[in-house]
Amino acid sequence: MRKINSVRITIKDITEQLRNIHHNYVNAHFNSKEYLILTYTGEVDTENHGIEVRLQVVDDTYHVLSGDPQYDTDHRGFWGCAFIPVVRTEQKLKEIARELIDDACEHYWELK
């Protein structure tokens, strides 16, 4: 668990949100046959496919945002940024969660 201002952030909570974002992205962009091809055969390049994610810590809460960052309208607070690949593992989601939290903490301490 990390704390930025008065906001407590855990890797477990962020990982859960990343899992949901990934699930929604895959459901929206790939039918099951395409996803199986991406995941298991390697016939389709997955390196450049994925989701941009951001952790925004502002006021007394945090938000995990996804998609194109140019559509973010609220630029307040402290930020962490990362990328979830289409083909992911649970360990990779935890690493991404840790990266987001670490980035936001560094941003916090830079501006403190």
Answer yes or no: are the C-beta atoms of 51 and 22 closer than 8 Å: yes
Tens digits of per-residue pLDDT, 26-76?
888 776 666 666 666 666 555 667 899 999 999 899 999 998 888 888 999
pTM of the predicted protein model? 0.84
**How many domains does the structure of the chain reveal?**
1
Instruction: Please name the residues in contact with 109: beta carbons below 8 A apart, sequence gap of 6 or more.
Output: none
Question: For residue 42, what pLDDT is reported?
Answer: 62
pLDDT for 27 equals 82
Q: Are 85 and 92 in contact (CB under 8 A)?
A: yes
Which comes out higher in pLDDT, residue 81 or 1?
A: 81
Domain of residue 43 covers 2-111
